[in-house]
Amino acid sequence: MRFLVGFFKKFIANQMALSLICLFMLCLFFLPNQLKAAEYLDWSGVAKRQDCPDEPSYLWIKNSQGVDCIRYFSGGNLQHAPVVIVMFSGDRDSLLKRAPEDIQSNTRQLRESIATRLTKILQVPVVLMARPGTYGSSGDHRKRRQPREFLALNAALSALKERYNIKKFVLLGHSGGSTAAAAILTMGRTDIKCAVLASGAFDLLERSRRLAIAAGREPSPLLDATGLPSPYDPLYHIDGIVPDSHRKIYILGNPKDKVTPFDLQVKFFNAVNTAGHKIELREVETKPPKFHNLSDSSRLKIARTCAKGD
């Protein structure tokens, strides 16, 4: 009997040890992958309050078209900053079918490191604000340039200002990011020191028509290049730009641009200029073959000069 009792005790002990080993192996293989996946920023996510804490990098915002969690990534101290440069990236539709881990710089740490590096270069606090549906911000990037996208970003800018008691902003965009910055300008803000709009998309339905013809497709005169009707086009909301003799707007572009036609950028410039606002048009060097992306850091230099008042 003692032999049997001893045998079963050893058997049970061995089984427990084996179970612990198996549990350890499961943790070893699966937990790091779960933690690694959690580090990547979500794309095209749904706004959930429980996933949008009231802490740095998150802004829970409300506007007339709903709620959103807008992510931002900062470098430097934002608290009581007299001026902050806020950057908006161009369209990222080419990334929508990729897994989050396959998207470049798609973690909070990496995006904050970019903002920190830019802050050191420009000597002004820099914030990368993620457009809806990209880099962790809720929303659908396929529905970009619709009113909701720009209402969300405008509300996020107000929330950022309130959180850190920021006095003024410099808006800096490229391509679709310039369209977003221009749209924010038209929403009655009085805290914009200047806006630097590089290779921006304006007169959106006309641009869509031209792009369709260039691609050999039948144009749809009432649809944006996204395939959606009624985009929010800053060109037709210029009356919403508040007069401000101290604010300066810069339009940077290249006549060879095959993505955002330069003459439509000039059209926006002319309309803003006619409305009496301080605006400057500059031709800049861009990279072939599409001549859309700037080949130098001119937009950063202009933003820095404006922010520092040099």
CB 173 within 8 A of CB 180: yes
Q: State the pLDDT at residue 10.
A: 56
Q: pLDDT by residue for the chain (310 residues), tens digit each?
A: 454 445 445 544 555 444 444 444 444 444 444 434 459 999 999 999 999 999 999 999 999 999 999 999 999 899 999 999 999 999 999 999 999 999 999 999 999 999 999 999 999 999 999 999 999 999 999 999 999 999 999 999 999 999 999 999 999 999 999 999 999 999 999 999 999 999 999 999 999 999 999 999 999 999 999 999 999 999 999 999 999 999 999 999 999 999 999 999 999 999 999 999 999 999 999 999 999 999 999 999 999 999 998 6
Identify the pLDDT of residue 22.
Answer: 44
pTM of the entire predicted model: 0.87
Structure tokens at 3: 């032999």
Look at residue 309 in the predicted model and tell me its pLDDT: 87
Rounded to whole angstroms, the Cα distance separating 68 from 93 reads: 19
CA–CA distances in Å: residue 35 to residues 23, 32, 39, 112 = 17, 5, 7, 19
How far apart CA 26 and CA 9 sit, in angstroms, is: 26
